[in-house]
Structure 1
């Protein structure tokens, strides 16, 4: 059976994915699926750099604003939703494009990783569910910290189902979820062109700092204060960069100046982690965006990337 065609556009925060993806979608008759684990949340617009309606330029965007901030969201759920969207878009005669920077989530979609294949132990799972109910979510999360700190850092304590599943996998196999995945030899699920955008580190860091200032000017404080005042806390969504720092500010822990400085630093560190992840975990065709400083240069880069995709997927663009 022929694999579905797919474009994946990845890269660190502030590298220029949003604008480029819309222009590419116009050329390639594409629809965009958000590959960002936080843009799924309603009311979290500025801090997640969510695309504005007028910036979409008529290109359909999927998996944005589908969850309330208190709701958990797992890699497995993302995998299922995105794979459904890819098929829907393909059946409409359009080209599906995943655009974002959440490496683990995107990797789970395009490679054949199985989240449910590890053995289970219902009695063990029920015991942990009772423990969480009696002693609180933190009690089972602490158990995970002891045996699998990598997963514990990635899974919020309130996402009890995932915490318990990670403990169950270790209980049944003696291996962490991470170790099991590393031992798998995943197959690419799609006829995919995986495009990575990169940039000179200093230029990227300047863009990140500028973006944070712009977010503050656009009303990030008011956005986060509203969530804070609504009592939205101790949940996965508020762990996003830009929200967790400002929650400390609204809790009177640190000054605004210190908060903004910390937000910029955390964003730069996140960009570095994103690049490391993509380079180590995925087979990516990289394109340097350092010279894209005006419209003319963007057009040149667009032509270069779309030609590459056309060749790889054997398709024709609209230009």
Structure 2
């Protein structure tokens, strides 16, 4: 299904003015459309992107600077094959874990993925928490700006609620084998955690615990492990705050076409019956409406007022963000 016509070399119309001067005018074509899902870690970006990709002819481009690396699937919280629901993901677990994948690298690889997706008449959905990658692509890449039009969906959750969820998620990751997974890549001869996948939250925090093996007693090691897990939780919450601050700055600076979707009630009801219905009502359903309107310019959809939990105007967006960060 063709969403929009890709830009290409076209014959240019000639307009004849007085004195026989022919001037070639540019042929303007409609830009291809891209959906971008942003939000702090743990807010449900991947879930929403997959939901949308099952409702539109779409594929997902990962924009998380840690999930782009191979390995540490639990530690980096990559979506599982089951969670993908058959949706093709690009730039997920493809990079050598020992190299640095820069913003320029992301732009180059993402551009190739976008060309491939659009060339197959599908919609690219860019999703991930690394806002520096998204900034580099959307604002600093001239070719991208010329070729694509974006719709931004910002999934937001009240920070106290999100911090509680993040803590629970870390506990579940530990139950799934986080510690053993990180131990398999631990190198006692390396103490630099500034390169590649070693930057992932969960790797440097466990360093002291791994180095204590055979040196201290079991009781001390248990305390070290407890402290490491607590540090993973703290650092993940710090990351969420920083990501939220970056989103605020990006909106303020570039005035993106951004729709803030408040998913707080969904997280408050997690584990309860009807939680999935709440997700559909407050997040997936409204997002589907917004994306449908963006992709197809359906005037009938444009007349439908967005739900109360979606803030779309600059006048109301900034105060809501400020409240959410307290």
TM-score, normalised to structure 2's length?
0.71
Correspondence for 1:251: 211
Structure-to-structure mapping, 1:256-271, within 5 angstroms:
256-271=225-240
Match in the other structure for 2:292: 310
CA RMSD of aligned residues (A): 2.1
How far does the alpha carbon of each residue in 1:8-59 deviate from its partner, in whole angstroms, 9 at most, with x for none?
A: 0011111112222111111122101111001121112111110111111110
* Separation of aligned partners in 1, 2:232 and 2:249: 26
Question: In structure 2, what is the equivalent of residue 74 of structure 1?
Answer: 102
In 2, Cα distance between equivalents of 1:241 and 1:87:
32
Write the mapping of 1:275-290 to structure 2, written as runs, cut at 5 A. Answer: 275-282=244-251, 283=256, 284-290=258-264
Correspondence 1:239 to 2:205: no
Match of 1:193 in 2: 151
Whether contact under 8 Å (2:206, 2:228) holds in the other structure is yes
Structure 1 segments unaligned to the other structure (5+ residues): 115-185
1:1-319 to 2 correspondences below 5 Å: 1-113=29-141, 190-229=148-187, 234=192, 235-252=195-212, 255-282=224-251, 283=256, 284-292=258-266, 293=269, 294-300=275-281, 301-314=283-296
Higher relative contact order (CA 8 A, sep 6+): 1
Q: CA deviation at 1:233?
A: 5.9
The structure carrying a bigger helix percent of its residues is 1
Q: Hey, what's the Cα distance between the residues in 2 that align with 1:29 and 1:207? A: 31
Name the count of aligned residue pairs: 245
Secondary structure of the residue aligned to 2:85 is: coil
1:132-178 per-residue CA deviation (whole Å, 9 max, x = no partner) reads xxxxxxxxxxxxxxxxxxxxxxxxxxxxxxxxxxxxxxxxxxxxxxx
After superposition, give the CA deviation of every residue in 1:256-307 in whole Å (9 maximum; x if it has no partner): 1111111101100100000110111142321001122311111212111111
Q: Which residue in 2 is equivalent to 1:154?
A: none
**TM-score, reference length from structure 1:** 0.72
